[in-house]
C-alpha cells in the first residue's frame, strides 16, 4: 500500500484512483486469485475510460498483484503456498531489520505518531471492518518503518506487504482474539517507546511468525475445500 510521507497533499490521478479500487477488490476477493481482468470490463465497472484502468493494471503488475498476459490482458496472481512462503521469508528478514534501523531514529514526534496509529488500530481491531483494519495495521507498522532511513528498503517492504495482505485476508476469521492482537502491537510500541530496538525487532519477528502459521492454516483449509484448484487455474 503506497504511503505518502512527504507532508504535502497527494494528488490522486484517475489511474491512481483506479489502482486503489482494483487493489481493494483483489484484497477483498471480489477479484479472486487466478481471475482474468479485462481493462475494458474493469473500466466500465469503475465508470472510467480504459486508458487509466490499463495504466492502473500495469502498476499492479509491477507490484506483483496481477500478471500481464500477452494478447490476453491481465490476471489476478493466483494464491500459492510457495509464493506466500517466500513473501514471509523475506518479511521476517526485512521487517525486523527495518525496526532495528528505525527505533534509534524515532524522536518524540515519531513516537506520538506511532501512538496515534496504535490507537486507531486498536479501535478497528474491535470492529468487523476488514478494510479499515488493513489500513490502520499498515499505518501502525509503517509509522515505525518510515524512520529507517532507507527508501529502497521501504519500497521493497511496501511490495511485500501488499502481497502478504491478500493472503492475510484469507485468514481474517482465524487471526486470534482482538485482545491478543492488541497486546502484540502494544508490546511492539512499548519497546519502540523506550528505545529498545532489539526487543522491538524480536517482537516484530514473533508477530510475523504467528501470522505466517495462521495464514498457512487458512491456505491448507482452502486447498482441502477445493482440492482440484491449482495455482495454474485461470490461465
Better-predicted residue by pLDDT, 123 or 4: 123
Better-predicted residue by pLDDT, 96 or 231: 96
pLDDT of residue 59: 93
Q: What is the pLDDT of residues 186-221, one digit of tens each?
A: 999 999 999 999 999 999 999 999 989 888 887 877
Q: Which residue has 525487532 as its cell numbers? A: 201
- Phi first, then psi, for residue 63 (nearest 5°) are -100, 5
Statement: residue 227 has pLDDT above 90 = no
Statement: residue 117 has pLDDT above 80 = yes
- C-alpha torsion 151→154→156→157, nearest 10: 170
pLDDT of residue 105: 98
- Cβ atoms of 189 and 118 within 8 Å: the answer is yes
Q: What is the pLDDT of residues 20-67, one digit of tens each?
A: 999 988 888 888 888 999 999 999 999 999 999 999 999 999 888 999
Confidence category of residue 142, pLDDT binned at 50, 70, 90: very high
pLDDT of residue 225: 62
- Cβ atoms of 196 and 103 within 8 Å: the answer is yes
Q: Which residue has 486498536 as its cell numbers? A: 122
Residue ranges of the chain assigned to CATH 1.20.120.530: 81-225
pLDDT of residue 9: 44
The correct answer on CATH 3.20.20.70 for the domain covering 15-76 is: no
pLDDT of residue 2: 45
What is the per-residue burial (b if ≥16 Cβ within 10 Å, else e) of 107-118? eeebbebbeebb
Query: Please, what is the average pLDDT of the chain?
Result: 87
Angle (CA) 166 133 153, round 5°: 60
pLDDT of residue 67: 92
Statement: residue 172 has pLDDT above 90 = no
For the residues of 97-134, what is the DSSP string, one character each? HHHHHHGGG--HHHHHHHHHHHHHHHHHHTSS-HHHHH
Share of the chain above pLDDT 90, in %: 58
pTM of structure:
0.79
- In this structure, the strands spanning 36-37 and 73-76 are antiparallel
Domain spanning 81-225 has what CATH number? 1.20.120.530
Share of the chain above pLDDT 70, in %: 86
Residue ranges of the chain assigned to CATH 1.10.10.10: 15-76
pLDDT of residue 224: 67
pLDDT of residue 85: 93
Mean pLDDT of 146-169: 92
Q: Report CA Rg, the chain.
A: 18
- Phi first, then psi, for residue 146 (nearest 5°) are -60, -20
Q: Which three cell numbers stand for residue 226?
A: 477445493
Amino acid at each position: 500500500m503506497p504511503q505518502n510521507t512527504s507532508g504535502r497533499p497527494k494528488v490522486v490521478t484517475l489511474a491512481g484512483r483506479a489502482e486503489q479500487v482494483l487493489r481493494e477488490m483483489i484484497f477483498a476477493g471480489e477479484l479472486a486469485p487466478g481471475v482474468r481482468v479485462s481493462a475494458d470490463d474493469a473500466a466500465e465497472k469503475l465508470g472510467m475510460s480504459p486508458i487509466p484502468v490499463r495504466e492502473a493494471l500495469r502498476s499492479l503488475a509491477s507490484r506483483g498483484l496481477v500478471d500481464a498476459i500477452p494478447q490476453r490482458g491481465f490476471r489476478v496472481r493466483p494464491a500459492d503456498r510457495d509464493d506466500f512462503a517466500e513473501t514471509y521469508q523475506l518479511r521476517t528478514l526485512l521487517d525486523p531489520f527495518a525496526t532495528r534501523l528505525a527505533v534509534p531514529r524515532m524522536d518524540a514526534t515519531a513516537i506520538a505518531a506511532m501512538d496515534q496509529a496504535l490507537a486507531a488500530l486498536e479501535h478497528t481491531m474491535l470492529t468487523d471492518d476488514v478494510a479499515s483494519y488493513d489500513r490502520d495495521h499498515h499505518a501502525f507498522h509503517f509509522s515505525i518503518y518510515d524512520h529507517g532511513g532507507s527508501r529502497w528498503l521501504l519500497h521493497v517492504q511496501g511490495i511485500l506487504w501488499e502481497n502478504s495482505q491478500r493472503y492475510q485476508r484469507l485468514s481474517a476469521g482465524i487471526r486470534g482474539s482482538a485482545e491478543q492482537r492488541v497486546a502484540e502491537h502494544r508490546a511492539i510500541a512499548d519497546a519502540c517507546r523506550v528505545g529498545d530496538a532489539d526487543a522491538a525487532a524480536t517482537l516484530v519477528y514473533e508477530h510475523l511468525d504467528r501470522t505466517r502459521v495462521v495464514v498457512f492454516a487458512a491456505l491448507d483449509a482452502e486447498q482441502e475445500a477445493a482440492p482440484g484448484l491449482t495455482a495454474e487455474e485461470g490461465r
